[in-house]
Each structure stands twice: as structure tokens, then as C-alpha cells.
Amino acid sequence: MNKLRNIFKSGNIAVNGWLHIGSTWSAEALGLQGYDSLTIDMQHSMYWLDTAIPMIQAIGGSGAVPLIRVADNTPGEVMKMLDAGALGIICPMIEDREQCEKFVGAVKYPPLGYRSLGPTRPKFVYGADYTKRANDEVLAIAMIETKKGLENVDAIVSTPGLDMIYIGPGDLSLTMGIPGSLDSQEPEFLAAVDTIVAACKANDVIVGIHTNSAAYAKQMQSMGMQFVTLSTDTNLLTSAAASMIGDFRK
């Protein structure tokens, strides 16, 4: 059901794409380019549930794993996205163990959590036994992207049922008072990455990060990442357009 699980178990790295554009066509087109997963961003995009559900369908048809970043740590939103067919939820701004337990509980069915039973779409798409398999296959992914989250990383990653930590470099840099955001080479930021990776490895939790280039993603892989996001659909579109227009005007 969730091929990311097999990638992680084999010790390989998963390549994720990031979708700001509310389009089933762009989601499907990117899914066919070789991404292992695509994340629908419900936090910093400009679309809602009625757009996200067809995007999940398009991603699934492309062969990529559909993930969703929810807007915040709201159990009802988390459960609704899972019932729409997301195979993983990324939750922003997790800063302590209590917040992480609340999030993970919404992702997992009892006895591991308190997710309500109602797999509206998944039981048709993933099989009648979806409910039995969901806790082992659906990913609970907590974002550490603040100084407070970094300070509490050991408590956060020890949360039962947590599958992955996803580092948000922009907000983490901002709250640490470090200049720059994506693809930072600031020693303090890289030290923070090392701290998070070490905590994850000690608790058998996967760790991933958002990057803006293949070169930086490779650097992060060498530091222990098993999940990297390569830019966003908006950045890919605008940078390609700017490059082509610039070449022509020269």
C-alpha cells in the first residue's frame, strides 16, 4: 500500500515533491517524473479540501505516494485527509511531546491512537483490509521547525507511533536567529540537523528535510536523511520559465 515503507526498510532514500499549485494535472504530471511521493501542502497553498481530494486521486494514479501537510495540529483535519486517501500526514510546528501525542493519536487507529473509524475512500482504493493495515502503513510525520521543537527533540521522537521527523529549515532557521533559510550552510543550523538526526536514529524514527537543490539534498543524505523534498512545483515552474525567458532575451 505504501511503497515508502519498503524504501525505508531497505535503507534507501525517498525523493519527495511538494505541491503548492492546486491542479490535478500538475500533480499527475509531476507524479510521472519519478518522485517516490508527492506532498499536497494544505498549510501554505491557496486551495482547500475540494481541490486536494482530486489531487490525491491524480497522485495515486501516477504511482507516487500521496502525502498531505495539514494546516495545523487539528485532529478532525488529520482524519479527514486520511479518509480521503492520504498515506501520510505531515504536521507542522510540533514543539513538545504532548503536541506530538495528539497528532500521532489522530493518525493511528486504537489501540495506538484515537482515529475514528470511517475509511471512506481508502477501503475501495487500498483494499477491504485497510483498517487492519493502516497503523503499519500510514505515516505519522511530525515537523520540527522551531527552536523549542529542537530543544524538545528527544521527548518528541520518543512518542509511540511516530514514524518520521520532517525538518522545516525555513522556520527553524528563523526561530534560531540564523540568516537565510533553505539550503543553509550555517554551522549552527547544520549542528541542529545533526542533533535531530541523532535523536531520530536513537529512537528508530526516519528523518527527512525540505531542500531547494539536488546538491543540498545529497549533502543531507550524507548527514543521515532518508527522505528529501526537492524544491516545490512553484519554484520549478518559475525557475524554468525565468531561465528560458532569460536565454531568449540575451
Residues designated catalytic: 44
Q: Are 141 and 93 in contact (CB under 8 A)?
A: no
Q: Which three cell numbers stand for residue 71?
A: 494546516
Cα separation, 196 vs 163, whole angstroms? 14
Sign of CA dihedral 216, 222, 223, 229: positive
Q: Angle of helix 187-202 relative to helix 169-176, nearest 10 degrees?
A: 120
Cα separation, 68 vs 246, whole angstroms? 34
Q: Which three cell numbers stand for residue 160?
A: 509511540
Q: Are 108 and 115 in contact (CB under 8 A)?
A: yes
- CA 231 to chain centroid, in Å, comes to 13
**How many beta carbons lie within 10 A of that of residue 95, not counting itself?**
21
Question: In this structure, what DSSP letter does residue 245 have?
Answer: H
Query: Phi and psi at residue 230, in whole multiples of 5°?
Result: -100, 95
Q: Are 73 and 95 in contact (CB under 8 A)?
A: no
